[in-house]
Amino acid sequence: MNMETRELQREIQRLKEEKNAIILAHYYQRPEVQDIADFVGDSLELSYKAATAPHSTILFCGVTFMAEIAKILAPDKKVLMPYPGAGCILADMALPKEVEEAREKHPGAKVVAYVNTHAQVKALADIICTSANAREVMEKTPGEEIIFLPDKNLGAYHARSLKGKKVILWDGYCPVHQTITLQSIERVKTRHPQALVVVHPECPPEVTEKADFVGSTSQLVRFIAQSQAKSFIVGTEEGTLHQIAKKAPGKELLLPDPVPLCHQMKMTTLERVYKALQEDIYQVEVEEGIRKEAERAIRRMMELS
Protein backbone atom coordinates (compact mmCIF):
# COMPACT_ATOMS: atom_id res chain seq x y z
CA MET A 1 0.00 0.00 0.00
CA ASN A 2 1.48 3.37 -0.96
CA MET A 3 1.51 6.48 1.22
CA GLU A 4 -1.21 8.16 -0.84
CA THR A 5 -3.57 5.24 -0.22
CA ARG A 6 -2.86 5.22 3.52
CA GLU A 7 -3.42 8.97 3.75
CA LEU A 8 -6.72 8.69 1.89
CA GLN A 9 -7.85 5.90 4.21
CA ARG A 10 -6.97 8.03 7.26
CA GLU A 11 -8.98 10.94 5.86
CA ILE A 12 -11.97 8.68 5.24
CA GLN A 13 -11.78 7.43 8.83
CA ARG A 14 -11.67 11.00 10.07
CA LEU A 15 -14.66 12.04 7.98
CA LYS A 16 -16.57 8.94 9.07
CA GLU A 17 -16.20 9.90 12.74
CA GLU A 18 -16.99 13.52 12.05
CA LYS A 19 -20.21 12.72 10.21
CA ASN A 20 -21.39 9.83 12.40
CA ALA A 21 -21.25 7.48 9.43
CA ILE A 22 -20.87 3.72 9.13
CA ILE A 23 -19.23 2.23 6.05
CA LEU A 24 -20.60 -1.09 4.81
CA ALA A 25 -18.83 -2.99 2.06
CA HIS A 26 -19.54 -6.14 0.09
CA TYR A 27 -16.94 -8.90 -0.26
CA TYR A 28 -16.51 -8.08 -3.95
CA GLN A 29 -15.17 -4.59 -3.32
CA ARG A 30 -11.53 -3.64 -3.90
CA PRO A 31 -9.26 -4.70 -0.99
CA GLU A 32 -8.39 -1.10 -0.07
CA VAL A 33 -12.12 -0.27 0.12
CA GLN A 34 -12.85 -3.32 2.26
CA ASP A 35 -10.10 -2.20 4.62
CA ILE A 36 -11.80 1.12 5.47
CA ALA A 37 -15.22 -0.49 6.03
CA ASP A 38 -16.69 -0.95 9.50
CA PHE A 39 -18.23 -4.18 8.27
CA VAL A 40 -17.63 -6.42 5.26
CA GLY A 41 -20.23 -9.06 4.47
CA ASP A 42 -22.61 -10.67 2.02
CA SER A 43 -26.11 -9.46 1.21
CA LEU A 44 -27.81 -11.02 4.25
CA GLU A 45 -25.23 -9.79 6.75
CA LEU A 46 -25.21 -6.30 5.23
CA SER A 47 -29.03 -6.18 5.39
CA TYR A 48 -28.96 -6.79 9.13
CA LYS A 49 -26.22 -4.20 9.65
CA ALA A 50 -28.14 -1.59 7.68
CA ALA A 51 -31.28 -2.27 9.71
CA THR A 52 -29.57 -1.98 13.10
CA ALA A 53 -26.79 0.58 12.62
CA PRO A 54 -27.13 3.46 15.13
CA HIS A 55 -25.32 5.92 12.86
CA SER A 56 -27.08 8.79 11.10
CA THR A 57 -25.33 8.09 7.78
CA ILE A 58 -24.73 4.80 5.97
CA LEU A 59 -22.14 4.80 3.20
CA PHE A 60 -22.68 1.67 1.15
CA CYS A 61 -19.82 0.30 -0.92
CA GLY A 62 -21.60 -2.06 -3.29
CA VAL A 63 -24.06 -1.87 -6.16
CA THR A 64 -27.36 -0.02 -6.39
CA PHE A 65 -29.74 -2.72 -5.17
CA MET A 66 -27.66 -3.12 -2.00
CA ALA A 67 -27.74 0.59 -1.22
CA GLU A 68 -31.49 0.54 -1.84
CA ILE A 69 -31.85 -2.15 0.83
CA ALA A 70 -30.11 0.10 3.34
CA LYS A 71 -32.57 2.91 2.57
CA ILE A 72 -35.54 0.55 2.63
CA LEU A 73 -34.64 -0.74 6.10
CA ALA A 74 -33.37 2.57 7.49
CA PRO A 75 -35.55 5.26 5.82
CA ASP A 76 -34.67 7.95 8.36
CA LYS A 77 -30.95 7.62 7.74
CA LYS A 78 -28.90 9.26 5.03
CA VAL A 79 -27.66 6.55 2.66
CA LEU A 80 -24.77 7.42 0.37
CA MET A 81 -23.31 5.43 -2.50
CA PRO A 82 -19.81 6.35 -3.74
CA TYR A 83 -20.62 5.53 -7.35
CA PRO A 84 -24.37 5.54 -8.11
CA GLY A 85 -23.78 4.12 -11.59
CA ALA A 86 -22.63 0.77 -10.19
CA GLY A 87 -25.45 -1.57 -11.13
CA CYS A 88 -26.13 -5.29 -11.30
CA ILE A 89 -26.87 -7.05 -14.58
CA LEU A 90 -28.56 -9.91 -12.70
CA ALA A 91 -30.95 -7.45 -11.04
CA ASP A 92 -31.66 -5.92 -14.45
CA MET A 93 -32.91 -9.31 -15.67
CA ALA A 94 -36.19 -9.00 -13.71
CA LEU A 95 -38.38 -6.01 -14.54
CA PRO A 96 -41.55 -5.05 -12.60
CA LYS A 97 -43.79 -5.51 -15.66
CA GLU A 98 -42.40 -9.01 -16.21
CA VAL A 99 -43.03 -9.95 -12.58
CA GLU A 100 -46.63 -8.75 -12.83
CA GLU A 101 -47.11 -10.81 -15.98
CA ALA A 102 -45.65 -13.89 -14.27
CA ARG A 103 -48.09 -13.46 -11.37
CA GLU A 104 -51.00 -13.31 -13.81
CA LYS A 105 -49.77 -16.46 -15.54
CA HIS A 106 -49.32 -18.33 -12.24
CA PRO A 107 -51.96 -16.82 -9.91
CA GLY A 108 -51.45 -19.41 -7.16
CA ALA A 109 -47.68 -19.07 -6.99
CA LYS A 110 -45.71 -17.15 -4.38
CA VAL A 111 -42.95 -14.89 -5.66
CA VAL A 112 -39.62 -15.46 -3.94
CA ALA A 113 -37.27 -12.70 -5.08
CA TYR A 114 -33.53 -12.99 -4.64
CA VAL A 115 -32.02 -9.98 -2.90
CA ASN A 116 -30.25 -9.18 -6.19
CA THR A 117 -33.30 -7.31 -7.51
CA HIS A 118 -34.34 -3.68 -7.73
CA ALA A 119 -36.62 -2.12 -5.11
CA GLN A 120 -39.62 -2.08 -7.47
CA VAL A 121 -39.33 -5.84 -7.93
CA LYS A 122 -38.91 -6.48 -4.21
CA ALA A 123 -42.13 -4.53 -3.69
CA LEU A 124 -43.98 -7.03 -5.90
CA ALA A 125 -42.56 -10.10 -4.16
CA ASP A 126 -44.08 -12.15 -1.36
CA ILE A 127 -40.71 -12.62 0.30
CA ILE A 128 -37.02 -11.91 -0.31
CA CYS A 129 -34.14 -14.35 0.05
CA THR A 130 -30.35 -14.30 -0.15
CA SER A 131 -27.94 -16.98 -1.29
CA ALA A 132 -27.37 -17.80 2.39
CA ASN A 133 -31.01 -18.47 3.25
CA ALA A 134 -32.70 -19.23 -0.10
CA ARG A 135 -33.29 -22.91 0.71
CA GLU A 136 -34.87 -22.10 4.08
CA VAL A 137 -37.05 -19.33 2.65
CA MET A 138 -38.29 -21.48 -0.23
CA GLU A 139 -39.10 -24.34 2.14
CA LYS A 140 -41.02 -22.14 4.59
CA THR A 141 -42.94 -20.14 1.99
CA PRO A 142 -46.55 -21.38 2.07
CA GLY A 143 -48.11 -22.97 -0.98
CA GLU A 144 -47.03 -25.57 -3.50
CA GLU A 145 -45.79 -23.31 -6.29
CA ILE A 146 -42.96 -20.75 -6.24
CA ILE A 147 -41.77 -18.29 -8.85
CA PHE A 148 -38.08 -17.88 -8.06
CA LEU A 149 -36.37 -14.86 -9.59
CA PRO A 150 -34.11 -13.74 -11.10
CA ASP A 151 -31.20 -16.22 -10.76
CA LYS A 152 -32.02 -19.58 -12.38
CA ASN A 153 -28.79 -21.20 -11.13
CA LEU A 154 -29.40 -20.34 -7.48
CA GLY A 155 -33.03 -21.40 -7.79
CA ALA A 156 -32.15 -24.69 -9.49
CA TYR A 157 -29.51 -25.52 -6.90
CA HIS A 158 -31.97 -25.32 -4.01
CA ALA A 159 -34.93 -26.73 -5.96
CA ARG A 160 -33.01 -30.00 -6.34
CA SER A 161 -33.51 -30.79 -2.66
CA LEU A 162 -36.89 -29.11 -2.18
CA LYS A 163 -39.77 -31.52 -1.59
CA GLY A 164 -43.43 -30.87 -2.26
CA LYS A 165 -43.02 -27.60 -4.19
CA LYS A 166 -42.95 -26.72 -7.86
CA VAL A 167 -40.30 -24.08 -8.55
CA ILE A 168 -40.73 -21.93 -11.66
CA LEU A 169 -37.27 -20.59 -12.52
CA TRP A 170 -36.69 -17.15 -14.01
CA ASP A 171 -34.37 -16.98 -17.00
CA GLY A 172 -31.71 -14.84 -15.34
CA TYR A 173 -28.14 -15.34 -14.19
CA CYS A 174 -25.11 -13.55 -12.78
CA PRO A 175 -22.68 -12.95 -15.67
CA VAL A 176 -19.70 -13.19 -13.29
CA HIS A 177 -20.64 -16.60 -11.85
CA GLN A 178 -21.84 -17.84 -15.24
CA THR A 179 -18.23 -17.62 -16.44
CA ILE A 180 -17.24 -20.20 -13.81
CA THR A 181 -17.43 -23.41 -15.81
CA LEU A 182 -16.08 -26.91 -15.29
CA GLN A 183 -13.39 -26.06 -17.81
CA SER A 184 -12.36 -22.88 -15.98
CA ILE A 185 -11.99 -24.90 -12.78
CA GLU A 186 -10.25 -27.85 -14.44
CA ARG A 187 -7.56 -25.56 -15.85
CA VAL A 188 -6.55 -24.86 -12.25
CA LYS A 189 -7.39 -28.27 -10.80
CA THR A 190 -4.96 -30.05 -13.14
CA ARG A 191 -2.12 -27.98 -11.66
CA HIS A 192 -3.41 -28.26 -8.08
CA PRO A 193 -5.13 -31.67 -7.82
CA GLN A 194 -5.23 -31.52 -4.01
CA ALA A 195 -7.31 -28.32 -3.94
CA LEU A 196 -10.92 -28.47 -2.76
CA VAL A 197 -13.43 -26.82 -5.10
CA VAL A 198 -15.77 -24.43 -3.27
CA VAL A 199 -18.30 -22.42 -5.27
CA HIS A 200 -21.18 -19.99 -5.01
CA PRO A 201 -24.68 -21.32 -5.83
CA GLU A 202 -25.00 -18.73 -8.59
CA CYS A 203 -22.61 -20.92 -10.61
CA PRO A 204 -24.08 -23.18 -13.34
CA PRO A 205 -25.62 -26.50 -12.19
CA GLU A 206 -22.85 -28.64 -13.68
CA VAL A 207 -20.38 -26.75 -11.46
CA THR A 208 -22.36 -26.90 -8.20
CA GLU A 209 -23.06 -30.61 -8.75
CA LYS A 210 -19.35 -31.46 -8.77
CA ALA A 211 -18.06 -28.98 -6.16
CA ASP A 212 -16.77 -30.09 -2.78
CA PHE A 213 -18.74 -27.31 -1.07
CA VAL A 214 -21.44 -24.87 -2.22
CA GLY A 215 -22.36 -21.81 -0.20
CA SER A 216 -23.01 -18.09 -0.05
CA THR A 217 -20.02 -15.78 0.07
CA SER A 218 -19.96 -15.69 3.87
CA GLN A 219 -20.44 -19.45 4.02
CA LEU A 220 -17.48 -19.96 1.68
CA VAL A 221 -15.32 -17.74 3.90
CA ARG A 222 -16.28 -19.68 7.03
CA PHE A 223 -15.86 -23.08 5.38
CA ILE A 224 -12.32 -22.34 4.23
CA ALA A 225 -11.35 -20.83 7.59
CA GLN A 226 -12.61 -23.90 9.47
CA SER A 227 -11.48 -26.59 7.00
CA GLN A 228 -8.43 -28.77 7.63
CA ALA A 229 -7.62 -28.62 3.91
CA LYS A 230 -4.79 -26.36 2.81
CA SER A 231 -5.65 -25.54 -0.79
CA PHE A 232 -8.89 -24.26 -2.37
CA ILE A 233 -10.21 -23.26 -5.76
CA VAL A 234 -12.70 -20.52 -4.90
CA GLY A 235 -15.55 -20.21 -7.40
CA THR A 236 -16.81 -16.71 -6.77
CA GLU A 237 -15.80 -13.08 -7.38
CA GLU A 238 -12.10 -12.51 -6.76
CA GLY A 239 -12.58 -9.79 -4.12
CA THR A 240 -13.70 -12.44 -1.65
CA LEU A 241 -10.16 -13.76 -1.36
CA HIS A 242 -9.10 -10.61 0.54
CA GLN A 243 -11.27 -11.53 3.53
CA ILE A 244 -10.54 -15.25 3.27
CA ALA A 245 -6.81 -14.55 3.45
CA LYS A 246 -7.36 -12.58 6.66
CA LYS A 247 -9.44 -15.31 8.29
CA ALA A 248 -7.47 -18.27 6.93
CA PRO A 249 -3.83 -17.16 6.74
CA GLY A 250 -1.41 -19.62 5.20
CA LYS A 251 -3.98 -21.39 3.04
CA GLU A 252 -3.54 -21.57 -0.71
CA LEU A 253 -6.36 -19.65 -2.40
CA LEU A 254 -6.83 -20.15 -6.12
CA LEU A 255 -9.31 -18.73 -8.63
CA PRO A 256 -10.85 -20.26 -11.76
CA ASP A 257 -9.27 -19.38 -15.10
CA PRO A 258 -10.41 -16.85 -16.28
CA VAL A 259 -10.68 -14.97 -12.99
CA PRO A 260 -14.30 -14.08 -12.04
CA LEU A 261 -14.42 -10.28 -11.80
CA CYS A 262 -17.37 -7.93 -11.23
CA HIS A 263 -16.43 -4.66 -12.89
CA GLN A 264 -19.48 -2.92 -11.41
CA MET A 265 -18.32 -3.66 -7.86
CA LYS A 266 -14.88 -2.32 -8.73
CA MET A 267 -16.35 1.06 -9.74
CA THR A 268 -16.13 2.06 -6.07
CA THR A 269 -12.72 3.55 -5.31
CA LEU A 270 -11.22 5.20 -2.22
CA GLU A 271 -11.34 8.54 -4.02
CA ARG A 272 -15.07 8.14 -4.65
CA VAL A 273 -15.70 7.05 -1.05
CA TYR A 274 -13.88 10.15 0.19
CA LYS A 275 -15.76 12.48 -2.16
CA ALA A 276 -19.16 11.03 -1.23
CA LEU A 277 -18.46 11.47 2.48
CA GLN A 278 -16.89 14.88 2.17
CA GLU A 279 -19.63 16.36 -0.01
CA ASP A 280 -22.63 14.31 1.17
CA ILE A 281 -23.42 13.44 -2.42
CA TYR A 282 -25.10 10.57 -4.23
CA GLN A 283 -27.84 10.03 -1.69
CA VAL A 284 -29.99 6.97 -2.30
CA GLU A 285 -33.75 7.48 -2.33
CA VAL A 286 -36.61 4.99 -2.68
CA GLU A 287 -40.19 6.16 -3.32
CA GLU A 288 -42.15 5.65 -0.10
CA GLY A 289 -44.88 3.40 -1.48
CA ILE A 290 -42.31 1.10 -3.07
CA ARG A 291 -40.13 1.27 0.04
CA LYS A 292 -42.93 0.09 2.34
CA GLU A 293 -43.84 -2.86 0.13
CA ALA A 294 -40.21 -3.84 -0.34
CA GLU A 295 -39.61 -3.60 3.41
CA ARG A 296 -42.57 -5.91 4.02
CA ALA A 297 -40.98 -8.60 1.82
CA ILE A 298 -37.53 -8.14 3.37
CA ARG A 299 -38.84 -8.18 6.96
CA ARG A 300 -40.70 -11.38 6.18
CA MET A 301 -37.37 -12.94 5.22
CA MET A 302 -35.75 -11.69 8.42
CA GLU A 303 -38.51 -13.26 10.50
CA LEU A 304 -37.76 -16.65 8.92
CA SER A 305 -33.95 -16.50 9.11
Give, for all 305 residues of the chain, the pLDDT tens digit. 555 898 999 999 999 999 999 999 999 999 999 999 999 998 878 888 988 999 999 999 999 999 999 999 999 999 999 999 999 999 999 999 999 999 999 999 999 999 999 999 999 999 999 999 999 999 999 999 999 999 999 999 999 999 889 999 999 999 999 999 999 999 999 999 999 999 999 999 999 999 999 999 999 999 999 999 999 999 999 999 999 999 999 999 999 999 999 999 999 999 999 999 999 999 999 999 999 999 999 999 988 87
The structural domain count of the chain equals 3
**SS3 at position 155:** helix
**SS3 at position 79:** strand
Q: Report yes or no on 259 lying in a domain.
A: no
Name the burial class of residue 41, with classes exposed (0-12), middle (13-18) and buried (19+) by CB atoms within 10 angstroms of its CB.
buried
Same domain, residue pair 16 and 48: yes
Same domain, residue pair 110 and 163: yes
Q: Please give the full DSSP string across 243-291, using - where no structure is assigned.
A: HHHHHSTT-EEE--SSPP--TTGGG--HHHHHHHHHHT-SB----HHHH
Same domain, residue pair 23 and 163: no
Same domain, residue pair 51 and 187: no
Identify the domain containing residue 157 by its residue range: 90-173+290-304
Same domain, residue pair 215 and 279: no
Q: Report yes or no on 260 lying in a domain.
A: no
